[in-house]
Structure formats: structure tokens, C-alpha cells
Chain A
């Protein structure tokens, strides 16, 4: 049941993707409005599937690779819709919709059966730890997209050749503002995510910090964003520099999330390709 729902969701994200691509090519507003509607419908179905899976499994279903990817898509779409409401950032949808679709494809290609939870994960810390981090990651994904848009736009303005990008993207000021806002929301989520994880590790593994690859990479990510936040608040890092750091930071997140799971074995290896 939830698998069918998830497949339907993937399909709806695909339609959203097509609509947003149509929008950025033609600049026809209707494409963006319909695209947003489809993403919203997708998010509702996705949320329903998540709840259904929670009920069926009896635990927060963010444990396997498939579940993680699927939930990431959900979180990114939710965060996008929230930002869209506030900033009316239609073009962002053209980044978010394909990402949500790609992540949702995991439903089709990865083992998706509900399994018995490994004993170490069977804890009330699970939802707290993962929800904080996943929503934090989704916020940073928006900062990443805004960063790319910033660099594209800045390049056109510096080169003084106004092409396709110029008409489609919002102002540098708005893009940089999103960067800052994402940092203000994402950094506390990331910090709390790491802290709750550490506390949970003390209960589950008997140690707050064991230099497991995922912990190391989370720390690297944390330092990157901490540096950006600090630079912004004190010496006025902004614009290009902030955009580049947001992009680098998100690459670190992706590596922490996917690279570590697939390449570096460690305590956190619950969610590799086999499970």
C-alpha cells in the first residue's frame, strides 16, 4: 500500500518536474503554478505514505537507504514549498522537482520491504535525531540551489551579457537572502541533530563520540557551515563567497549522507545498498 503510494508520488514529482522545465523554458507562469500544485499534492501523498509505513513498521521509517532517500525527497519538497510561500521563488522549483523525482526513484530500484529494526536503532532517539538532520539537510539543499543560481546570475551581471539566466532568476539580493535564511534555520537543526546523535550514541554504543566516518564527516560539514555563519556575521561574507560555501557545504552533506554509507564502513552502516 505505502509502496504503491510512493510510486504514485514519484510519478507526480515527475509531472512537477516536466511542468517546471516547461516554465523555465517558456517563462509561462502557468507552468510554475501547476508545477507547485503537483509538488504540493506529491508532498501530501508522500506524507501519507510515510505515516502508513510508520504504522506498518512500528518505527520511524528513516533507517534504510531507500527510506532515507525517500524521506529526503519529502523534506526537500516541504522546505521548498515553505520557501516558495515566503519568497515566491518559482525557479527554485526547477531545481527541487527533479531532485525530488530522482530521490523518489529509489522506491522503484531499491529494496523497500519493511524489515525488522536492528536493536541499536530501536530507540525514541531515532525520530528526533534523523528528523532534525533530514530537515536540516533539506534546508541546506535549498541553500545549495540558491547558491548555484547566485553564481549563474552573478556571472551574467559581471560579464554584462544578459542572456536566458538574467530573465529567469530572482535578484542577487533575494538569492543571498535565502542563503542566509537557510543558514539560520539549517545550522541549529544540524547542531541539534549532531548533539542528539551523540547523546543517543552514549545510550546505544556506550560512548558520546567514536570517530565513526559518519561522525567525522558530520563534524566537517558542521565546521564548514559554522565558518560560513561566522564569516557572515562578523566580516560580512556574502554573495559569491557565501554561495560557494553553501555549495561546498551541501557537497559535504551529500558525502556524509551517501558517500559514507556506500564507501566507508562504520557504526552508522545501516543504510547501504543491501538494506
Chain B
């Protein structure tokens, strides 16, 4: 029962992308992999997390096994490498460190982009696979469930994931703050640039109604419009079509402004002041920044967007400190649960042994008393019970105690030695589950 949680893996910091690619587990191999994993020596439960930034194997190592070696051998043989080849890229966390590690990963505190939202879903998938292929047992089950609730607390109690940290997401966030849900809004894409196209895609995904595409070469506009399922517009007709656009993304190679303040003021008059949001990703700029002074017109260039992102990143860093505290608290509560799990079978067997002794001794005493009246029987029985409870109180308390100096395993060993309890393996399986709630802190 003094098994340990061990996490072995690699991530974007410990291994280059070629190695991560090689070690990834595609979804169709994961069942096979999980079966191979839990069949390894000394491993009783396992979960495999595989994303584009990390591959981590979390196992429950049985007593006397370190776990990480078995996982390393498993990873190597599954992917046709040698354990020595893998060694430099791997990290290991066990016990309390492993707990903290998984909680941080699930809460997106260990991600490349701090607070990115996908990781929690990926951890949930990993848990789902492990449950589906019966690789997970009660300990890791509880461990992952706790990780999800830690991540949920981080999400709701901190703002670590609340702000956009990429240019295109910042554009979407701003557009939503100006236009609302975007469902009535049309996007216009002027020129072609990777960042602009990405932002356009995000805006459409966020609910924008449609897109107009224009380019100096009309064929290019037609091609791009097809890609976005939008409408191509001739560059010469830009100003006449501009009135239909609410959000304008621009990145042309033009050396001077393609839209001047007065052009935009005119368009706005035609639009009866319906707001317009210009996102200028071109250098040199395409859109006269003075247009920002017109009511209901907002002009952001690439530097403005980068500033927004920077402020957001700073906020995330500040919020991350709060999130770490939540993770620490949740990890602590899980550690207590785990220790209670470990000591429960010992408490049960301790009680069982002395209850048997008590029953035998009470029987003997009552036999010696002969025909005892009910009152005498009761006195004898309660004497034995209270004696037993008083004697067992200290060892049980010492097992349950939250003690820094001695690990639960050490305390269990002492109690088992002193009270001469049988070895753990000899007891029935049901004990641990039955006592599940016993020592929860």
C-alpha cells in the first residue's frame, strides 16, 4: 500500500520537437500502449498524456519499485529507441512533486503559453483513455479527479486565462468589446498577410457574419475569398465597398496610407455612424492613425495590439502566483487523502486483531463467571471495549497524524512491527475501499 505516484515524461522545455514527435502516442495506439504499460513490472495503474507539447506517463509504482525505470523502458521499447537515447530528454517527478506537477499541468501553469485553455481537455482525454482501457485504479482516479478540480478552481478564482495573448486573439477580443457578439458584423480583408488571415479566421470562428476580400491583384482576392467562403472585391472599388465592412483587417505593401482620415469619415457618414474597427497590420501603415479620433472609429496598428498583449501577459504572470497557491493547497489536501489511504488498511487490521482478542477474552471471563446475570455480562463487555479503545487510541492517532518527520510508510512499519500485524499482502482486498473515508482530513 505504500506505493508511489510517479510521473515521467518530456515537454517543450526538455525536448526538441523532433523528439516529442517521435514519442507522441497517436489516439489509435493509446489503448495498446496503456495495456503494455500496466503489464510492466511494479506498475499497478497508469495514464498516458500525449499532446504536441508534452508526453507524460503517470503511474502508480508498487512498493519496492521506483517506477521511472519501468516507464523509461516502456517508452523506449514502444517507440523503438533505447532507454539511454531517451534519458537526456526525460524528467521524473514522484510523490508530492508529482502531485504538484500534474495539478500545475492541468491548470495550464506549465504550458508554453501560460493559461492556454486546451490542456485541461487533453488531460481529461488522457484520463478518459485510461478509464476506457482499465489502466486506472482508485488512487490515480482520485488523483486525476483532484487535478481537474484544482484546474477548475484556478480557472474560476484567478484570471490566469482571461485575456488574449496573441495578436489575432487580441483582435477578436477588442472587436467583441466594440461590436458585441459579432453576429451582425462583416469583416474585410485588405491585402494578404499571414497574421491578417489568421485574425480573419479567428473573427469568423468567433461568429462574424461574412468576409469581403480585396487585393491589388484581383485573382489573388478571388482565390483567398474562395478559401474563406467570402466575396472578392476589386481593389479600385475598395472605398465603395468599405461601407459594408465593420471590421477591417489590412496589410498591404503600400508605402503610404490607403485609407485617409477623411475617407473614413465619409464612409462613417454613409453608415450612419455604425462603428468601425480597423486593424492595421502593415508596416508602413495602411490606415491613417488619426482616424482613431473620429467617433465610433477605432484604429489599432500592430504596436497597439502588441501592447495589449503585453499588458495581458503581465496580468497572467501576476495571476499565476495566485494560481500556484491554489495548486499548493489542493496538492496538500490530496496528499492527506493519500496518506489516509495508506494507513487505513493498517488501522483496520489493528482493530480486527484486537477485536478478536477481546471477543476471546470476554468469552473466557464469562465462562469463568458461570451463570452471570445480564448486568454482570454488560459490565464485563463494556470493560473490555473501553480498555481496547483506550489502548488502541494512541497507535491509531499516530498513524493518522499529519507528521513531518516520519512518512506514513515509516509510521505504518512501526505500528505493524510493535503490534505484530500480518504482512499487508495477506489481507483481503476489500479493506482499503471500505475504509476509504476514514482518515480524510
> Interface on A for B, CB 8 Å cutoff?
27-28, 153, 157-158, 160-162, 166-167, 171-174, 177, 235-241
Contacts and interface: CB of A to CB of B under 8 A. Distances in A.
B25 interface: no
Contacts of B375: none
B261 to A, nearest CB: 15
Contacts of A162: 308, 311-312
Contact of A235 (B159, B176, B272, B275): B272
A173 B157 CA distance: 28
Interface in B156-203: 157, 159, 162-163, 174, 176-180
Interface of A is mostly: helix
A160 B275 CA distance: 16
Contact of A166 (B157, B177, B275, B307): B177
Interface string B293-304: 101101010001
Contact of B176 (A160, A171, A236): A171
A172 B178 contact: yes
A27 B174 contact: no
Contacts of B312: 162
Shortest Cβ-Cβ A-B pairs, 5 listed? A236-B272, A173-B180, A236-B273, A171-B180, A239-B296
Given A236-B272, A236-B273, A236-B274, A160 B295 contact: no
A241 B294 CA distance: 12
Contact of B296 (A27, A167, A177, A240): A240
Contacts of B349: none
Given A158-B298, A160-B308, A239 B177 contact: no
Contact of A173 (B178, B304, B311): B178
A28 B298 CA distance: 30
A161 B314 CA distance: 13
B292 interface: yes
Interface residues of B, number: 26
B197 to A, nearest CB: 23
Interface string B87-108: 0000000000000000000000
8 contacts: A160-B304, A160-B308, A171-B177, A172-B275, A235-B273, A236-B274, A240-B295, A240-B296
Contacts of B307: 160-161
B180 to A, nearest CB: 3
B246 to A, nearest CB: 10
A158 B163 CA distance: 19
Contacts of B293: 158
Given A160-B307, A160-B308, A174-B180, 14 more contacts: A158-B293, A160-B300, A160-B304, A167-B159, A167-B163, A171-B177, A171-B178, A171-B180, A172-B177, A173-B179, A235-B273, A238-B272, A238-B296, A240-B296
Contact of B179 (A166, A171, A240): A171
Contacts of B274: 236, 238
A41 to B, nearest CB: 25
Contacts, number: 57
Interface of B: 157, 159, 162-163, 174, 176-180, 271-275, 292-293, 295-296, 298, 300, 304, 307-308, 311-312
A241 B295 contact: yes
Given A158-B298, A239-B295, A153 B177 contact: yes
Contacts of A173: 178-180, 275
Nearest to A174: B180
Contacts of B298: 157-158
Contacts of A174: 180
A171 B181 CA distance: 9
A206 B307 CA distance: 67
Contact of A157 (B157, B178, B272, B273): B178
Contacts of A241: 295
A235 B163 CA distance: 36
A157 B177 contact: yes
Contacts of B300: 160
Contacts of A238: 272-274, 296
A238 B272 CA distance: 9
Contacts of A236: 271-274
Contacts of A160: 300, 304, 307-308
A43 to B, nearest CB: 28
A157 B159 contact: no
A166 B173 CA distance: 10
Contacts of B275: 172-173, 239
A173 to B, nearest CB: 3
A235 B300 CA distance: 27
Contacts of A240: 295-296
A104 B141 CA distance: 54
A27 B304 contact: no
Contacts of B296: 238-240
* Residue in A153, A166, A241 with the greatest tally of chain B CB atoms within 10 Å: A166
A178 B311 CA distance: 30
Nearest to B312: A162
A72 B298 CA distance: 38
Contacts of B176: 171
B272 to A, nearest CB: 3
A236 to B, nearest CB: 3
Contacts of A161: 307, 311
Contacts of A167: 159, 162-163
